[in-house]
A = this chain, B = another copy of it.
């Protein structure tokens, strides 16, 4: 399971304040907490700072890399920003994200290749997001074609089938679960990744819904997720799910996480 630690995101108020104040310690503590809890990548996002985004993101990258050797996940809506900051990374990063939109593909795929990066591909064309499982799988196939025909290995691609609020459409989570299973069976070597929070929009006890969705997605083959690994209830269900799927030799990942106090 590839865990992308989601917390250093400027859409979160306390993170935005820390960036604005140049509070290195706050950012570094968030990075360390996620690293200690088993993150494989640290997501870094400064999109809320608009025209200062590249400057802020560069500062975050340098700040985080002072306290961890983990690779970063460079998270920006603007390909030009990604291009400006990617050379600051010390490890091959993940790029978050591409869609089928041609201008994004043309800007980002050369960076993926040149920096031996990995990349998240959203099941989305320029104008439209995949809603049904069939639409998601069809877009996934086209993303894979674009990536592999650019000379990038299929295993560098993390397909995010996207998930929409189940409170608005009761079939939306199932469409994503079905898409994960089909994509993982149909396109050997590719990864699937998903954010969890969107699914529970508008419902009570959102964290219960989010972590249950993670368990169900892992049961269908999901092998990466954007989440907070320091959330003990979420971490617990993730470790237990992987163990039950036979992906944890001798159950040692689960048992070690239990002993480290990471589970609840």
Contact = CB atoms under 8 A, between A and B. Distances in A.
SS class of chain A's interface: helix, strand, loop or mixed? helix
Interface stretch (A35-43, A56-64, A145-153, A212-220): A212-220
B219 A215 contact: yes
A173 B244 contact: yes
A129 interface: no
A263 B217 CA distance: 21
B218 A216 contact: yes
Among A243, A254, A264, the most chain B Cβ lie within 10 Å of the Cβ of A243
Contacts of A33: none
Nearest to A174: B246
Interface stretch (A11-19, A81-89, A134-142, A233-241): A233-241
A223 to B, nearest CB: 14
Contact of A219 (B220, B243, B263): B220
A192 B150 CA distance: 46
Given A203-B255, A215-B237, A209 B174 contact: no
B244 A208 contact: no
A263 B171 contact: no
A245 B177 contact: yes
A213 B258 contact: no
Interface residues of A, number: 38
A34 B246 CA distance: 33
A53 interface: no
A237 B208 contact: yes
A212 B238 CA distance: 9
A260 to B, nearest CB: 12
A216 B245 contact: yes
A170 B248 contact: yes
A203 to B, nearest CB: 6
Contacts of A22: none
A4 interface: no
Given A177-B219, A216-B219, A216-B245, A240 B170 contact: no
B241 A216 contact: yes
A199 interface: yes
Contact of A170 (B167, B212, B218, B249): B249
A1 interface: no
18 contacts: A166-B251, A170-B246, A170-B250, A173-B245, A174-B245, A177-B219, A177-B244, A177-B245, A199-B244, A205-B236, A205-B263, A209-B254, A213-B244, A215-B215, A215-B216, A215-B241, A216-B216, A219-B220
